């Protein structure tokens, strides 16, 4: 009886920890969102970028984009909220509005084309995956491999 109870407690503890870990994996997924203030061509139509867009995330300004420029912000979780301050033409009035985007969990870097998004196009038109260009490192990193014993300093501890 005692053993069964202990086993049940152990299984319960493992399940609770697994559930917490799963929740953390979902809510803690980090993304880098890139904002493109660039011309978009979709369905034979051209969408021109506004003259200037200022992007705020979490109340902080993360990018100030003129036409043809790209900015970025990092976010945790799939619900991304941004505030855009848009100036359509030079010297024109500025409008400020909050937008919410549902980010796909599987993508690390997400490119959002602002003219397409503001025009209300379908998601596949303005959202794409950011694929970083991996540059070959000229020198290999030195990793442990020798059999020497070193008395190393920990540096900052």
Which spans of this chain sit near other proteins (rule: CB under 8 A)?
17, 20-21, 23-25, 27-31, 74, 76, 108, 132, 134, 136-137, 140-144, 151-154, 156-157
**Least distance to other proteins from the beta carbon of 113, Å?**
23
Nearer to other proteins, 19 or 92 (CB): 19
Whether the Cβ atoms of residue 32 and residue 130 lie closer than 8 Å to each other: yes
Write the CA distances from 120 to 42, 67, 77, 114, 135, integer angstroms.
12, 19, 23, 10, 36
Beta-bridge mates of residue 83: 56, 98
Provide, rounded to whole angstroms, the least separation between the CB of residue 84 and other proteins: 24
Q: Nearer to other proteins by C-beta: 8 or 76?
A: 76
Give, for 124, the enclosing helix (H) or strand (E): helix 123-126
d(CA 95, CA 117): 16
The residue (of 8 and 16) whose beta carbon lies closer to other proteins is 16
CB of 101 to other proteins, least distance (A): 18
């Amino acid at each position: 009886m005692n053993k069964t109870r202990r086993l049940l407690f152990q299984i319960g503890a493992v399940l609770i920890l697994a559930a917490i870990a799963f929740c953390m994996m979902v809510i803690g997924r980090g993304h880098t969102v890139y904002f493109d203030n660039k011309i978009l061509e979709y369905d034979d139509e051209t969408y021109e970028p506004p003259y200037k867009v200022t992007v705020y995330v979490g109340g902080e300004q993360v990018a100030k984009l003129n036409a043809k420029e790209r900015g970025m912000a990092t976010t945790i979780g799939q619900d991304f909220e941004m505030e855009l301050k848009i100036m359509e033409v030079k010297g024109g009035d500025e409008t400020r509005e909050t937008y919410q985007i549902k980010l796909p969990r599987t993508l690390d870097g997400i490119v959002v084309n602002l003219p397409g998004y503001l025009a209300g196009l379908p998601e596949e038109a303005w959202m794409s995956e950011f694929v970083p260009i991996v540059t070959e490192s000229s020198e290999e990193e030195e990793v442990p491999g020798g059999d020497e014993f070193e008395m190393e300093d920990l540096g900052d501890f």
